[in-house]
A = this chain, B = another copy of it.
């Protein structure tokens, strides 16, 4: 792990972690897209990351303590990547970033649904989501009562509804 820092400023240090075009995209796909495998991240992201960059960033994220890697018991070659608590606490930042982008940048309708829902849910929804992520990635016990719909499912359902709504309109 690189210990040469430009300054000890919290914002600068955060930027030394995220100040590139791919790191947060990977974390977004893991957090909101539920991706855990190399190929899922490689083929699943809309932006089309290159495999060498993905490999480099995954390695870097592990060195930084944001991800861990484990063998997938179902497949001797598969690796499963997990978020650490350090990464899970990025959820509020992701939510803010999405909300800001939704207001100021040319976002596509369908893709902004998730950000909108996350923004409207506010900190309580973010907490629920982080709880779910801790359950999925860290094996922590859930605080949410059984039967409660998962936040990721809610976001995904809203996205798919928007897509089919758009398809209906396109079909006339």
Say yes or no: B96 contacts A10, CB within 8 Å.
Answer: no
Say yes or no: B93 contacts A89, CB within 8 Å.
Answer: no
In the complex, A98→B96 CA distance in Å? 13
Q: Report how many residues on chain A are interfacial, defined by Cβ distance under 8 Å.
A: 48
| Residue among B8, B18, B47 making CB contact with A12, cutoff 8 Å | B47
Say yes or no: B19 contacts A105, CB within 8 Å.
Answer: no
A16-B21, A20-B20 given; A11·B96 CB < 8 A: no
A23, chain B: closest CB distance, angstroms = 8
**A161 at the binding interface (Cβ < 8 Å):** no
Chain B, residue nearest A84 (CB): B104
| Residue among B13, B14, B107 making CB contact with A10, cutoff 8 Å | B107
Within 8 A of B (CB), among A1-56: 5-22, 24-25, 28, 46-48
Set of chain B residues within 8 Å of A97, measured between Cβ atoms: 10-11, 14-15, 93
Contacts A11-B94, A15-B97, A19-B22 known; list 13 others, CB within 8 Å: A5-B106, A8-B108, A8-B111, A10-B112, A12-B25, A13-B101, A15-B25, A19-B19, A20-B20, A20-B21, A65-B104, A89-B103, A96-B96
